[in-house]
Amino acid sequence: MQKDFKFFSQISTSHSSIESLNPVILREALAKVQSVLPLSGLIVGSLENAAVFDELTCNKRKDDPEIYLWYNLLSDYPGQSEEETIVDYHGKRCKNWFGWSTDAQEEISERFLFSCPNDPLTAQKTLKVLSNLLEKYSFDGVFLDKFRFPSPASGLDQTFSCFCPHCFEKAASQGLDLEEVRMALTRWHADELKGSYDSNAWLEAVIRNKPLLQKFLQFRIDSICDLVKEVRKLTDSLGIKLGLDLFTPSFADFVGESYKALAPYADWVKPMTYQYAMGPAGIRLETINLIKGLEAIYGVTEDDVFNWTRMNLPWFTREAYTQLMDCCVPMEWINREMREAVHLMPSVPIYMGLECVSFPGVIDIRPEMAVALYKAAIENGADGAVLSWDLMHMPLENLQALKDHYEK
């Protein structure tokens, strides 16, 4: 039995109406889950639901898990305006992303607009909202989400950001000319995918001989880290914990979320190593959009990509990519991501993002699928798992299957 392995779960107040998520319904669902698989932590948010927040913090019961506020730092936070969002290298503001079905638009409050971490007014606003929530409710910790730059899911032109006046000023103070970076991004082409670097990290291999882009990516990492430091100061002042929702290692540095740089500020981390999900932050959509974006913007064909991966990432085959598009990320990739997360943060507990929900027609995790992911977490050194994403939509048979293997 994996006695020290911890299970967390999440409850989204952004994907359900206030009426459909009330304290009575929540308590019933939590009791059912706890009777099968006791939780160490419960993550709730990101929209404020006073009745739910009060029930879980003010009316906390003896057997309740730790309660974390799920907070979006740079996207979909209260009061966000489009004037605060990032500027891409074409000079355009961040675009709305909405890939959910039309029927879901009324209930799902997610636009995936990303604000600039270097805009002092943005930082002041989002930190003030977070501080107010923590003063109002007695959470045991904060689970920080969406503290990054846009990802390939939003388009590569959005991913390579930000070029707002605040970023130009901050970069210049560090000896980085963003105008040079902008010009380099507009000139990038397929011929730059060459050479063999024998690397497990695709991004490291691509920029190995590009010092300007290395400085740009480090500048973005530092920008995100500077804002997370401020969150850590706030949680430390309140004596509560800080958990981080991080992109899977293959994409983390690409969006400004460096495992190594963020390690000093995290009490624990959840890598988003999702095998089946087709949405932002999921390996499937991000990989597909990265490859499609390279072709659309830079003329890099799939043949170019796979000729390069054959020399640099032999495990990234066309067959594996086809599997990723058709149904799921190959388990070999999931294992690699988990091992890398544990390697990059040796002193920080790693809780795997483990898909466990059923939304027929969108994602339908069955017991054997959840168990396979649990085994991957155990075999690759994870300290626990965050059952993702929503406790309200997890079949009990999935939880029972996890319990059966946990108790072996």
Confidence label for 198 from pLDDT (cuts 50, 70 and 90): low
Q: Would the pLDDT of 200 be above 80?
A: no
d(CA 171, CA 167): 6
Confidence label for 298 from pLDDT (cuts 50, 70 and 90): confident
Q: Would the pLDDT of 127 be above 70?
A: yes
Domain annotation covers residue 202: yes
d(CA 112, CA 120): 20
Confidence label for 311 from pLDDT (cuts 50, 70 and 90): confident
Higher-pLDDT residue of 17, 233? 233
Q: Would the pLDDT of 348 be above 90?
A: yes
CATH of the domain at 347: 3.20.20.80
Kindly state the average pLDDT of the residues 387-408.
93
Predicted pLDDT of residue 97: 59
- Beta-strand relationship, 241-247 and 268-272: parallel
Domain annotation covers residue 249: yes
Rounded (10°) angle between helices 302-312 and 283-298: 120
The dihedrals phi and psi of 264, each to the nearest 5 degrees, come to: -65, -15
Instruction: Write out the residue range of the structural domain in which residue 233 sits.
Output: 6-406
Domain annotation covers residue 374: yes
The answer, yes or no, to whether the previous bond of 46 is cis (omega within 30 of 0) is yes
Q: What is the mean pLDDT of the chain?
A: 91
Kindly state the average pLDDT of the residues 147-169.
95
Q: Would the pLDDT of 248 be above 50?
A: yes
- Beta-strand relationship, 363-364 and 358-359: antiparallel
Share of the chain above pLDDT 90, in %: 75
Q: Would the pLDDT of 362 be above 60?
A: yes
Residue type, 71: Y
Domain annotation covers residue 379: yes
Residue type, 273: T
CB 282 within 8 A of CB 288: no
Helices (H) and strands (E) in the chain, counts: 16, 10
Domain annotation covers residue 261: yes
Expressed in angstroms, the distance from the first to the final Cα of the chain is 5
pTM here is 0.94
Domain annotation covers residue 1: no
Domain annotation covers residue 242: yes
Residue with the two structure tokens 């130009």: 168
Kindly state the average pLDDT of the residues 228-238.
98
Q: Would the pLDDT of 101 be above 60?
A: no
For the chain, the domain total comes to 1
Domain annotation covers residue 278: yes
For residue range 80-92, what is the model confidence (pLDDT) as tens digits? Answer: 988 899 999 999 9
Predicted pLDDT of residue 191: 67
Q: Would the pLDDT of 309 be above 70?
A: yes
d(CA 386, CA 353): 5
Predicted pLDDT of residue 196: 57
The structure tokens listed for 220 are 């973005």
CA distances, 327 to each of 41, 322, 331, 363, 370 (Å):
30, 9, 12, 10, 15
